Amino acid sequence: MTENPLKVIVDQDPQLFNLLENTRELAFVEDGIPLKYKFLLAMSLDAANGAVNGVRSLAVQAMQAGATKEEVMQAIRITQYIFGVGSVYTASEALKDTM
């Protein structure tokens, strides 16, 4: 398993890390929108923001929550429509070893 990208925050400011974890837990609570769609939405936002590692992690989590590869790619299509081709390059880099 890879090292936590927030390790320095965990080590230096555990209170901030706890706040981040609480926010994450609130965002991904299994209520309302199905979890796979929450992960796909977050993945799309990371693609739009150029976060390769985030796209990779969230795509895997979405698929573990029941999303298909087709649904992952459809989410990328929508992201491209709204945010442009840069999001596709980010997604391509993130998904090349995942899909």
- State residue 76's pLDDT score: 98
Task: State pLDDT tens for residues 41-86.
Answer: 999 999 999 999 999 999 999 999 999 999 999 999 999 999 999 9
Tens of pLDDT, residue by residue over 1-53, are: 567 888 999 999 999 999 999 999 999 998 899 999 999 999 999 999 999 99
> What is the per-residue pLDDT for 93?
97
Q: How far apart are CA 99 and CA 89, in angstroms?
A: 15
Please state whether 45 falls in left (phi above 0), alpha (psi between -120 and 50) or beta: alpha
- Predicted pLDDT of residue 86: 97
Rounded CA gap, 40 and 45, in Å? 9
